[in-house]
Every structure is written in C-alpha cells, then in structure tokens.
Amino acid sequence: MDESIYSKNTVEFVTVGVEFCSFIERAPELNRNDFIDTSIKILPLLYLKAVLLSETENDNDQITEHFVTEEIYEYIRGNIERLLRTHDSYLEVFQSDMQYSDTPIAASISEELTDIYQDIKDFVSTYSLGNEHSSGIALAICKENFISYWGQKLVNVLRALHNLRFSADTEENFDETEDENYMQNNSIFEQRQMLWKEENGLDEWDKWNNE
C-alpha cells in the first residue's frame, strides 16, 4: 500500500483542493469583491499544503485521466474573466519569457486561476475514484506540476489579486460604466458561452461538477 496517498499532508491537500475547485466553480454566483477576497485567502493555503506534500516519483512517466476538457476550461475561465472584467489583465514581471523582453508581459488572472484549477481538479477527481495506483500517479504529477508550473502561477496571480484587493482605486473602477462597456465589447464571447450551455443542456457540466 502506498501510504503517501493516505498521509495527513495529502488528505489536507485534497481537502483544500476540493474547496478551491468548488470556489472557482461558484464564480458566477459571487460578486467581484467577494471573489477577490476569498481568492487571496485560499490561494496561500493551497500553496502551503502543496509544499508539504511528500516527494513522490512517477515511474515511467505514467499519466492519468484528464477531467477538465477544453470546453470546461473555457467555461471556467470565461466566468472569471467576466467577473473581473477589465481588471482581469495585469503586468507580470516574473516569467521565463521576461529574459527576452525589456518590458513586463501581460498576463490574465482568469487564465492563471483556471490553469491552477485544471491541475487540481484532475488530481482530486482521480483521487476521489479510490484507485490507489491511479491516485499515487496523480499525486506525483500534481506535485511535479506544482514545482515546475502552477506553483509559480499561484504566487504571480496572488500578487495581482492582492493589488486589486487593497488598491484605493479598485473600488472606484468597479462601476456601471465599465460593466456596460465590457458587456458590449464581449457580447460575442458571452453568446458563445450561452450557446455551449444550451447545446449541452448543462447536463454534462452538472454531472461532472457533482462527481
């Protein structure tokens, strides 16, 4: 038996991961201030629990099932983008591409959060199936990806969210005029989102979301 997948640190990471995914999925139900406030509280906890995970190895580079499809990814990302509107973009100064650029690179809060969500959702979904072998592989992959990929994304996006939460200008910028302009400029995207939901009847989404 692989005791690492049942260790205290792993169980706590799964618990926080499930809560993080549930929070991200509820984005359309939240207002922007609540979303930002909760994000800056749960992201540091997710980072801490990931750091405490045991070092595991994925022999033969095995893979597990992916639960977050491209359609689901875009649905999640679009919900967050529409919630943050013009505040979704921020300038990132800590990226590997920066060595080739003299100026900060534009990044997206919604994309960064959805990238993190995708990795966490795939892991907790595999873990919930109760297959010890698959759970061990998924745990190793998630830890490896944390170190090389989404851990850095997490701290990057946390800086941007911190700035939004405590910026004196943010509250003034969340106004009705901004909302109206954003909706006009993004009507095509929203129509495509609604069309996808109608075509799928949300049956696939609800089934996947409640697993």
The domains located in the chain, with CATH, are: 3-209 (1.20.120.1550)
Check whether 177 has a pLDDT greater than 80.
Answer: no
* Interacting residues of 23 by C-beta distance below 8 A, sequence separation 6+: 38, 39, 42
Q: What angle (nearest 5°) sits at the alpha carbon of residue 185, between those of residues 23 and 198?
A: 55
Check whether 184 has a pLDDT greater than 60.
Answer: no
CA distance 166 to 6: 39
pLDDT of residue 176: 45
Better-predicted residue by pLDDT, 162 or 61: 162
Find out whether 181 and 40 touch, Cβ atoms under 8 Å: no
pLDDT of residue 198: 54
pTM assigned to the model: 0.79
Q: What is the mean pLDDT of the chain?
A: 82
Lowest mean pLDDT of 64-73, 113-122, 134-143, 177-186, name the range: 177-186
Write the pLDDT tens digit of every residue in 9-43.
999 999 999 999 999 999 999 999 999 999 999 99
